[in-house]
Amino acid sequence: MRIGIYADDPGQVASLCRELDAQFLWAAGPELEGTFPFPVYDDYAAAMAVNPASMVIDCIGDLRDQQSMVVPEDAVFYLLGAGRGYSGSEANSAFLAASAQLSASIDKILKQIDLLNIYSQKLTQVGGQLNEASAGILGDLERTGRILDSITRIAKRSKIIGLNSAIEAARVGEQGRGFAVVAEEIKTLADDSAQSILDIGKILTGIKQRSDEFALRTSSVNDLSDMQQQTTSEISAMLQALKELGQHLKQLPA
């Protein structure tokens, strides 16, 4: 358990240390002084920024924190057995305070679960977008394949034309009049090849853009996964705090 103390009286901190010394991360409070086996801060926010606590014992009574479970000091003292001399009404107040804290903690857990659901929905949306991007890439690759097939056919035709040119040259000898037609055909095929290459360049540019989009979407998925893990860790810490507080509640006298 990661516990912090919010107090303005060193005596309160010392009393708590006798029971839970090994579990405290720090103590914080206005003008709080004293020598303890853990850091002491003047400001609560600074303490939480340096080392966040999953449970904070409030000895002053004015602490409000949505990120950590805040437990009233009187309830803690009673639950730890320091309040054996309490009157019936004091014991009842301590019990009610602890019960109220349990209810508040459960509400916080439910809110965290709601956040998990929201993150899950976002992951689903991003997954759908990734699938669409993947389909676009596959379409580009298919078009690239068709163009490459066209270039292959052009190459084959060029080869045949080359053979025909050789045959024509052998037949006409020095005259070579048929070479003008052959040359024009080869030029046309070369132009077609150039256009095909331009088309391939455009498609490859599209593939590059979609690849960049893939990288961005994947980064978003990773960020959302990290947020899910962080939220799950916070829920686990809250549940552990509830478990330990519940164990103390079971020890309350009837």
In this structure, are 131 and 209 located in the same domain? Answer: yes
Q: Are strands 40-41 and 69-72 parallel, antiparallel or unpaired?
A: unpaired
Top pLDDT among 136 and 81 is at 136
pLDDT band, very low/low/confident/very high, at 184 (cuts 50, 70, 90): low
What CATH number is attached to the domain comprising 128?
A: 1.10.287
The parent domain of residue 151 ranges over 118-234
- Checking if the pLDDT of 29 tops 80, the result is yes
- Checking if the pLDDT of 55 tops 70, the result is yes
What is the total count of domains within the chain? 2
pLDDT digits (tens, 9 = 90+) for 159-177: 677 667 667 766 676 666 6
Q: What percent of the chain has pLDDT over 90?
A: 1
Is the pTM of the predicted complex or chain greater than 0.85? Answer: no
User: To 10 degrees, the CA torsion angle through 152, 156, 157, 163?
Assistant: 160
Rank 40-44, 189-193, 209-213 by mean pLDDT and report only the highest.
40-44
pLDDT digits (tens, 9 = 90+) for 58-112: 888 888 877 777 777 776 666 555 444 555 555 555 555 665 666 666 667 767 7
In this structure, are 149 and 65 located in the same domain? Answer: no
Q: What is the pLDDT of residue 6?
A: 84
Average pLDDT over the chain, rounded to an integer? 72
In this structure, are 100 and 15 located in the same domain? Answer: yes
In this structure, are 42 and 74 located in the same domain? Answer: yes
Say if CB 48 and CB 29 are below 8 A apart: no
Q: What is the pLDDT of residue 139?
A: 78
Q: What percent of the chain has pLDDT over 70?
A: 62
In this structure, are 89 and 144 located in the same domain? Answer: no
**Would you call 184 exposed, middle or buried from its count of C-beta atoms within 10 A (0-12, 13-18, 19+)?**
exposed
In this structure, are 87 and 122 located in the same domain? Answer: no
In this structure, are 95 and 174 located in the same domain? Answer: no
Q: What is the pLDDT of residue 97?
A: 62
Q: At residue 248, what are phi and psi to the nearest 5 degrees?
A: -65, -40
In this structure, are 187 and 225 located in the same domain? Answer: yes
Count of Cβ atoms closer than 10 Å to residue 241 Cβ: 22
In this structure, are 123 and 224 located in the same domain? Answer: yes
Cα→Cα distances 95→73, 156, 168, 208, Å = 12, 91, 109, 64
Range in 129-138, 193-202, 231-240 the model is least confident about: 231-240
- Checking if the pLDDT of 51 tops 80, the result is yes
What CATH number is attached to the domain comprising 40?
A: 3.40.50
Q: What is the mean pLDDT of residues 36-41?
A: 87
In this structure, are 135 and 195 located in the same domain? Answer: yes
In this structure, are 70 and 148 located in the same domain? Answer: no
In this structure, are 89 and 139 located in the same domain? Answer: no
For residue 79, give both structure tokens. 């639950």
